[in-house]
Amino acid sequence: MPALPAKLTKSNLPTKLCATCGRPFAYRKKWRSCWDEVKYCGEKCQRNKPRPGAGPPSSPNPLV
């Protein structure tokens, strides 16, 4: 991960992809001390993070 620029402006904020939804999200000031550890774009994605070894959910009543 490259070092953050000395002066952050909206045009040069670093971005990452969310591990749950795959959408890009930008650096926030509250993540200043832990940006390298941030994996999710928000609390909802963090709560719904994919479980290891879990496959796609199967529907109980498949339409045939």
Predicted pLDDT at 38: 94
How far is the C-alpha of 60 from the C-alpha of 49, rounded, in Å? Answer: 22
| Residue 62 C-alpha from the chain's centroid | 31
Of 32 and 1, the one with more pLDDT: 32
How far is the C-alpha of 27 from the C-alpha of 14, rounded, in Å? Answer: 6
Q: What is the pLDDT of residues 25-59, one digit of tens each?
A: 999 999 999 999 999 999 999 998 877 765 555 55
Beta-bridge partner residues of 25: 16
Could you identify the residue written with the tokens 């963090």?
46
How far is the C-alpha of 43 from the C-alpha of 49, rounded, in Å? Answer: 10
Position 15 pLDDT exceeds 90:
yes
Q: Any idea where the domains of the chain sit in the sequence? A: 12-47
